[in-house]
Amino acid sequence: MSHADWTPAREAETVAVARALADGPIGARANAVAEQDVFAWDTFRDLCASGIVATGFPLAHGGTEAPMRVRVQLIETLARVCSAAASMVTGTDLAGRPIVAGAGPALAAELVPKLVRGELQSAFALTERLAGSDVAGLATVARRDGDGWVLDGVKRYITRATVADWFTVVARVDGAPGARALSAFLVPRDAPGLTVGPMQPKLGWAGVPAAEVFLRGVRVPRERLLGVEGGGMALAQDTLVRARIGHAAIALGRAGGALEMAAQWCGRRRTFGARLGEHQGVQWMLAEMATRLEASRCLMRAVADRYDRGDPEVSVHASMAKLHATDLGMQVTTDCLQLFGGNGYLREFPLERFMRDAKLNQIGEGASEIHKTLIGRHVLRAAAASRHPCLDLDAFDARMADPEPPR
């Protein structure tokens, strides 16, 4: 797709809108949003009214389809003050893109413009009690029934389940094994047999509640299959890549916000007759955090660029960006809290919120260990397909098979 209409001026203007929201109403209510884990409607409405939610949707359905290089800046800008706000941008994407990609024209025309305007909410329901990292364990079954299906299963940790009007449910057709048996279905909240459990209390990310979703004999007509039967994981692939880049942007935005606050604190707090920021050990801490964040930001922006160019290897690079940014985000928010001393530990200061929120980025959309596994396999595959000119393993093997006696 072409992003030619996203000129540098338009890009700067859109990022400035996000910055004004972050410095204005969204930043101002971020602490209050974190106090009670209910969906932060005011923040969501601001994001819809400003056109930020629309950047994730195609022009044909009323969106503005911003390139990923713009999206990551928007997400980072919001995460600098409020994880919930940033997660509403990435979460709308996670829940909306499968509908954009897989719904038939009539269904898409009915639903997507309303998702763009925030009149409808959707949730993405993949994870289950025994199937998180390992989707092969997915047990929700879609049993064929006439020209449709009947769904049975339980989905766990589903973000926005408490407010969603529609659910994209990934299920195993007729209980067959393997990823090819996974299909995605669109189910309305009021479908007979669908029940949403109570909000699951969690460590952080207040403002975007998660809950279990129970499916007991839920009938899905043929036109609510997203994409093709057995194409559930293929359909989710683009969504998951986008979500991983989004997690990297949230982690970096939040860590950048924590560093900004820590540096302000170090410019004011005095110990041993000097400002904290005048002690060399503190300067070095700030310098290392700033440098690592900038390096991680370069990696994330390079991945965003790959995404926009349609690079076929974007997926593994998205894993690298997510792994690096989210592990770094955890470390930086922890160290920034440390610089606030006892105050950092108090709810009165936002650092403990930033640290608690950082943890989820290391778990959601593939935990760090899973991304390490994917990257490690990629490194091995790439190495097997090439030969380093300084290393001759064939010659080494031959020598070992028929060793010369030492002279």
Ligand X SMILES: Cc1cc2nc3c(=O)[nH]c(=O)nc-3n(C[C@H](O)[C@H](O)[C@H](O)COP(=O)(O)OP(=O)(O)OC[C@H]3O[C@@H](n4cnc5c(N)ncnc54)[C@H](O)[C@@H]3O)c2cc1C
Contact 64, 54 (CB under 8 A): yes
Task: Please name every residue paired with 187 in a beta bridge, in sequence order, or none if there are none.
Answer: 167
**How much of the chain is in helix, strand and coil states, percent to nearest 5?**
55, 15, 30
Give 40 or 276: the residue with its C-beta nearer to ligand X.
40
Interatomic CA distance for residues 68 and 56, integer angstroms: 9
Find the distance separating the first CA and the last CA of the chain, reported in whole Å: 67
Interatomic CA distance for residues 142 and 196, integer angstroms: 19
Instruction: Classify each residue of 230-264 as buried b or exposed e, where b means 16 or more C-beta atoms within 10 Å of its C-beta.
Output: ebbbbbbebbbbbbbbbbbbbbbbbbbbbbebbbe
Minimum CB separation from ligand X for residue 244, in Å? Answer: 11
Give 288 or 369: the residue with its C-beta nearer to ligand X.
369
Helices (H) and strands (E) in the chain, counts: 13, 10
Minimum CB separation from ligand X for residue 157, in Å? Answer: 4
Contact 82, 33 (CB under 8 A): yes
Give the angle 38-110-308 at the CA atoms, nearest 5°: 75
Interatomic CA distance for residues 158 and 152, integer angstroms: 16
Minimum CB separation from ligand X for residue 390, in Å? Answer: 32
Give 49 or 380: the residue with its C-beta nearer to ligand X.
380
Give 202 or 275: the residue with its C-beta nearer to ligand X.
202
Neighbours of 313 (CB within 10 A): 10
- The owner of tokens 């819809």 is 48
Minimum CB separation from ligand X for residue 67, in Å? Answer: 25
The question of whether 365 is a catalytic residue gets the answer yes
Minimum CB separation from ligand X for residue 160, in Å? Answer: 7
Give 302 or 370: the residue with its C-beta nearer to ligand X.
370
Minimum CB separation from ligand X for residue 226, in Å? Answer: 15
Q: Measure CA 4 to chain center.
A: 26
- The residue among 359, 371, 74, 90 whose CA lies nearest residue 242 is 90
Residue ranges binding ligand X (CB under 6 A): 124-127, 132-134, 157-159, 202, 205, 210, 360, 363-367, 369-370, 373
Minimum CB separation from ligand X for residue 140, in Å? Answer: 11
* DSSP H or E stretch at residue 275: strand 274-275
Q: Exactly one of 35, 313, 365, 404 is catalytic; which is it? A: 365
Give 17 or 370: the residue with its C-beta nearer to ligand X.
370
By beta carbon distance, the residue nearest ligand X is 132
- The residue among 99, 115, 208, 110 whose CA lies nearest residue 163 is 208
Give 134 or 348: the residue with its C-beta nearer to ligand X.
134
Known catalytic residues? 365
